[in-house]
Amino acid sequence: MKKLALVLPLLGILPLSAQDWEVGVLGVSNSYRTSGSAQNGTIDPGSPDSKVALGLRVGYALLDLGPMLLQVTAGIQPQSTTKVTSRGTSGYDFSPTTTNVNFKNQNYSVGAMLNMNAFLSGGIGLEYRFETYEYQGFSTSASRPWLRANLGVSIPSPILKPFAGVEADLPFTSTKLGDGTSADDRARSMAPKAQFGLYAGIRF
């Protein structure tokens, strides 16, 4: 036990043998928020319920910087559907009885990530997402840059290196819902405002 207590801190700071490729599965809880109102302030569109979404991401290490790896990444989060509680009383798109409306969204992404190449690992990077939304039968799309940050562990191995950790993603831009906005803006205002979850996979 004493030897193990000495070895574990060293694993946390020593670089591991780099693997070029990464494949991971992401499970995140989408955080939503709507702001403002529509149709002269008479509508409160509510917000989508929190929803766990699954995604797949692949990465390739362009540069091995010793304790750090510079990666390029590509990912997909398939369509997820969540309920929206709408409290509108009048207006263009809302009826008095609308209380559960579906909101659907998905995205494809490309990005770059700087990851610590050690047993105790962390990373930060940028991701550009091509997102699509569907709200009350209307579909639209948007492209947004996101900030990614993660913290976890990587298990040393000469061939396959499993890793697991937590991740937080935040967009740089979002659409606010205001008086007289278009159907595009109403759908975009429902887009995720943050994501928090787990990321796990292998590097090889």
Most confident of the ranges 1-5, 6-10, 44-48, 86-90? 44-48
What is 2-203's CATH number, 3.30.70.360, 2.60.40.10, 2.40.160.20, 2.40.50.100? 2.40.160.20
What's the pLDDT tens digit per position in 140-193?
999 999 999 999 998 888 888 999 999 999 999 988 776 556 778 888 888 999
Structural contact between residues 111 and 128, judged by C-beta atoms closer than 8 angstroms? yes
